Amino acid sequence: MAQVDTVQAGFLKLLMLGGALLLTLPAGCVHTPAADRNPLAEWVPSPNYEPRRPILIVIHATEQTSVQRSLDTLRSHNRGGPVSAHYLIGRDGSRYQLVADDQRAWHAGAGRWGTITDVNSVSIGIELDNDGAAEFPSAQIDSLLALLTDLCDRLRIPRTQIVAHSDFAPTRKRDPNVRFPWSRLAEAGFGIWPAADAPPAPAGFDPWQALQLIGYPLDDRAATVRAFHRRFRGTETDTLDEEDLRILHALTQERQQP
Whether 127 is catalytic is yes
Name the pLDDT band for 174 (thresholds 50, 70, 90): very high
Q: What is the mean pLDDT of residues 245-253?
A: 97
Residue 157 pLDDT greater than 90, yes or no = yes
Q: What residues form DSSP beta bridges with 69?
A: none
Query: Given pLDDT bands bounded at 50, 70 and 90, which one contains residue 257?
Result: low
Say yes or no to pLDDT of 21 above 50: no
Q: What are phi and psi of 221, to 5 degrees?
A: -65, -35
Question: How buried is residue 181: exposed, middle or buried, by Cβ count under 10 Å (0-12/13-18/19+)?
Answer: middle
**What pLDDT is attached to residue 255?**
67
Residue type, 29: C
Q: Please state, in angstroms and rounded to a whole number, the distance separating the CA atoms of residues 197 and 26.
A: 56
Given CATH 2.60.40.10, say whether it is the number of domain 56-187.
no
Whole-number pLDDT of residue 36: 78
Instruction: Calculate mean pLDDT across residues 165-177.
Output: 97
Sheet with 87-89: list strands edge to edge.
95-97, 87-89, 123-128, 56-61, 162-164
Which of 50, 63, 127, 187 is catalytic? The answer is: 127
CA pair distance 148, 95, nearest whole angstrom: 12
- What phi and psi, each to the nearest 5 degrees, are found at residue 24? -90, -10
28-74 pLDDT, tens digit each: 444 556 667 899 999 998 999 888 899 999 999 999 999 999 999 99
- Secondary structure class of 200 (helix, strand, coil): coil
| pLDDT digit string, tens, across residues 105-127 | 999 999 999 999 999 999 999 99
Look at residue 233 and tell me whether its pLDDT is greater than 70: yes
The confidence score (pLDDT) of residue 79 equals 85
Q: Could you tell me the pTM of the whole model?
A: 0.85
| Residues contacting 231, CB < 8 A, separation 6+ | 164, 166, 167, 180, 182
The most distant pair of C-alpha atoms in the chain lies apart, rounded to whole Å, by 95
Q: State how far the Cα of 182 lies from the Cα of 193, in Å rounded to an integer.
A: 8
Q: Is 58 exposed, middle or buried (0-12, 13-18, 19+ CB in 10 A)?
A: buried
Are the C-beta atoms of 219 and 258 separated by less than 8 Å? no
Q: Which stretch of 103-107, 162-166, 253-257 has the lowest confidence by average pLDDT?
A: 253-257
143-147 mean pLDDT: 98
90-108, pLDDT tens digit by residue?
Answer: 999 999 999 999 999 999 9
Instruction: Identify the pLDDT of residue 33.
Output: 61
Q: What are the residue ranges spanned by the domains of the chain?
A: 56-187, 207-256
Would you say residue 23 has pLDDT above 70? no
Q: Which pLDDT belongs to residue 27?
A: 42
Mean pLDDT of 204-231: 98
Read off the pLDDT band of 256 (50, 70, 90).
low
